[in-house]
């Protein structure tokens, strides 16, 4: 968020909170503020999905997966990720227009990750997940928002094992 917008929003919030309650409280509309993602009407009801993914043991097929959904620029997504053991999790997106990739969040070892997200571009957005353990790990991903489950689950090939030194 630009510094000028942060300043306007902070000043507006501080002014509203400091005003005494009176019979004639002032009113304003969010349209009076500089452009900000405060409210965006949609024509579709949001959806909620919970997906349970099993990551195979490290080095095996299915130890690395991606799960992606399609969002239009400005669409919002709430997410919760819970794993039965720490996993590598990377949240990123790829633009439909030019295939540019943007990384939003990278975690080397997480069992829980929560957030709210507003798509900066139209494209696929989602998670790369990798199991660093010798046993399977279950990951539960819960999503809510306006999105399409496309492409959904993507299995990645196992990384070649390096020879011990």
pLDDT digits (tens, 9 = 90+) for 114-134: 999 999 999 999 999 999 999
Beta partners for 64? 130
pLDDT band at 34 (very low <50, low <70, confident <90, very high): low
The more confident residue out of 162 and 86 is 86
- Rounded (5°) CA angle 130-133-139: 50
The C-alpha atoms of residue 128 and residue 162 are separated, in whole angstroms, by 21
Query: What pLDDT, on the 0 to 100 scale, is given for residue 164?
Result: 45
Give yes or no for residue 69 having a pLDDT over 90: yes
Query: Strand, coil or helix: what is 149?
Result: strand
CA–CA separation, 42 vs 8, rounded Å?
26
Q: Which residues contact 71 (CB under 8 A, 6 or more apart)?
A: 77, 93, 119, 122, 123, 124, 125, 145, 146, 147
The whole-number pLDDT of residue 88 equals 98
Q: pLDDT higher for 4 or 87?
A: 87
Residue 53 has pLDDT above 90, yes or no: yes
- Region 144-150: mean pLDDT is 94
């Amino acid at each position: 968020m630009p510094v000028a917008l942060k300043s306007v929003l902070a000043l507006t919030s501080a002014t509203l909170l400091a005003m005494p309650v009176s019979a004639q409280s002032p009113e304003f509309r969010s349209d009076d503020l500089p452009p900000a993602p405060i409210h965006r009407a949609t024509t579709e009801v949001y959806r909620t999905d919970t997906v349970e993914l099993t990551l195979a043991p490290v080095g095996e097929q299915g130890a690395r997966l991606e799960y992606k959904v399609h969002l239009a620029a400005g669409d919002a997504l709430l997410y919760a990720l819970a794993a039965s053991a720490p996993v590598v999790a990377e949240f990123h997106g790829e633009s439909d227009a030019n295939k540019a990739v943007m990384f939003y969040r990278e975690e080397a070892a997480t069992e829980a990750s929560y957030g709210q997200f507003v798509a900066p571009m139209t494209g696929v957005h989602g998670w790369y997940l990798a199991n660093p353990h010798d046993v399977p790990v279950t990951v539960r991903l819960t999503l809510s928002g306006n999105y399409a489950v496309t492409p959904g689950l993507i299995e990645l090939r196992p990384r070649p094992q390096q020879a011990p030194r």
